[in-house]
Amino acid sequence: MFGRIGGHALRCAGRPVIRRRIYARSFSGQAGAGTAAASAPSPLAGITAELDRIAPRFEVPASQIHIIDTPANFYSTLKNKIRNARRRVYLSTLYIGKTEYDLIETLSHALRDNPKLKVSILTDALRGTRETPDPSCASLLSTLVAEYGSERVDIRMFHTPNLTGLRKDWIPRRINEGWGLQHMKLYGIDDEIILSGANLSEEYFTSRLDRYHVFSSKALTEYYAKIHHAICSLSFQVLPDPQDESNYVLEWPTTNGAPSPLDSPQDFIAYSSTYLSPIIQATENEPARPSEASQTYVYPVSQFTSLLQPNDTSTEFPAVTTVLRLLSSSSAFTGARWLFTAGYFNIHPVLSSLLISSTTTASNTPSTTQGTVLTASPWANGFYGSSGISGMLPAAYTHLSARFLDRVAAAQATNSIQLKEWRKGTVGTPGGWTYHAKGLWVTLPREEHPSLTFVGSSNYTKRSYSLDLEVGALVVTNDQDLKRKLGEETERLQKDASPVSRDDLRRTERRVGWNVRLSMWIVEKVGGAF
């Protein structure tokens, strides 16, 4: 599968503004229309005080955060920034499409025009070599190394330590990806970083809707570069095959601090745990007392559970659950609104419970908090029409949506939580799009637009929080213009969505067969996830 399979810890770069404690006044005095008096502390102060115990915090002016609206604009923005790169390009993604010659040519032009430019690309080994010995992501990327050398172009592929030995030998390709992937999406160019859920292939550039946030911040870009290069140093290196430069080899560099995950998975995990934990944790700092009325904070969050054993110090799951618990338990958030979205609706049961409980009171009666869950219709699911087991996934997600609505009904929250399905045409037909967006937005009581959002690679599933490598950010703001843009983002994502009820999912054409339910049970029992 690999052709031939033949660091030290990085210190934090940049100057992140990292705080353990936040005074209530940090997010007070900037309320929306109809809110409490300016002297009252905002609920955001309670959120930031909790988050400062979990993850690093960066103060980024709202004017330096840009939200891209379409796949085509994402691609054109990415290419334009690569063309103008002066020092570095680093790209973390699940895979680059095996025929993305235009993107490769853009990278090649940038390297040719600027001899000082260095490019680092990280993908997943299982996904990136799936088509071998036919053309693949790995064989395509190796051509850049062949032309510009490994000193300027470093291509890495992460291999999960969960798939080794007989399991790796016997489980078929594509299905084997259920045991863990490099799933981060970090697109860094010089001092700017694009956080997204999108991979780098044609459908993500044309007809698969996702989210794309651009942060123009040197300190934040340095931080994510540190994460990127840390995982690179735990990954195989892709090099041209000396006998055939159109092919590739995967080698485990001697500069990697850990042994190969295929040779010694336990030692690999032990090293990774010691190495990664200090990078992703919050750092003790003296609390600042911001004087600006409009503030925006960005908390990078990471989920590296499979690499952090036995003590999982990942930050994303704690950050998400902290926010949702505040929604569920603090009276300051009564009357808030939230939107949760995932293209593949298989939400972690803890998050599901917290979303539901946020709309009910202690006596399990409805509160004034309202929530919307947005997911892909089966006809907008990337697996629609696929052959084999993957073709069952749209029905499996429908089954999970129905189970979620059953839980909502049991909690007497049907009038407080709405499920919407997104559809724009039908996958595989002219004009048919797929839906791949994921995230969470929270709008404070009596405010019009969201003050908080999670953006990044995570699908918020059991798999995301146990097997895959995920990175994202929690953006907290009281800047009115940025809040308006976040509101526009939620409206844009819901434009082609329609409400779906329990009765809709019981219709004959939506019923899920026994074969789908059995396949879901088998995958979970043998240790995989979807």
Nearest to 278 by CA among 253, 317, 260, 304: 304
- pLDDT single digits (tens) 196-234: 999 999 999 999 999 999 999 999 999 999 999 999 999
446 — alpha (psi -120 to 50), left (phi > 0) or beta?
A: left
What token pair was written down for 44? 């955001």
Host H or E run for residue 156:
strand 153-158
Q: Let me know if 420 is a catalytic residue.
A: no
Note the Cα 133 to chain centre separation in Å: 30
CA 202 and chain centroid, separation:
19
In the chain, the domains with their CATH numbers are 24-30+40-343+436-495 (3.30.870.10)
Neighbours of 410 (CB within 10 A): 11
| Amino acid occupying residue 284 | E
Q: What is the per-residue pLDDT for 440? A: 98
From 190, 267, 312, 504, active-site residue: 190
Residue 183 among the catalytic residues: yes
At residue 8, the pLDDT reads 31
Q: Would you state the torsion angle of the CA atoms of residues 409, 328, 210, 196, taken in this order, to the nearest 10 degrees?
A: -150
Digit-by-digit pLDDT tens for the chain (530 residues) are: 334 343 333 333 333 443 333 333 346 543 333 333 334 457 898 899 999 999 999 999 999 999 999 999 999 999 999 999 999 999 999 999 999 999 999 999 999 999 999 999 999 999 999 999 999 999 999 999 999 999 999 999 999 999 888 788 787 777 788 889 999 999 999 999 999 999 999 999 999 999 999 999 999 999 999 999 999 999 999 999 998 877 999 999 999 999 999 999 999 999 999 999 999 998 765 444 444 567 999 999 999 999 999 999 999 999 999 999 999 888 889 999 999 999 888 899 999 999 999 998 655 555 688 999 999 998 988 777 666 666 667 777 887 888 899 999 999 999 999 999 999 999 889 999 999 999 999 999 999 999 999 999 999 998 899 999 999 999 999 999 999 999 999 999 999 999 999 888 877 667 666 555 555 555 554 444 55
Task: Give catalytic status of residue 436 as yes or no.
Answer: no
Residue 24: predicted pLDDT: 36
What is the model's pLDDT at position 168? 82
Q: What is the largest CA-CA distance in the chain?
A: 73
Q: Which of 81, 98, 159, 185 is catalytic?
A: 185
Of the candidates 81, 183, 226, 420, the residue annotated as catalytic is: 183
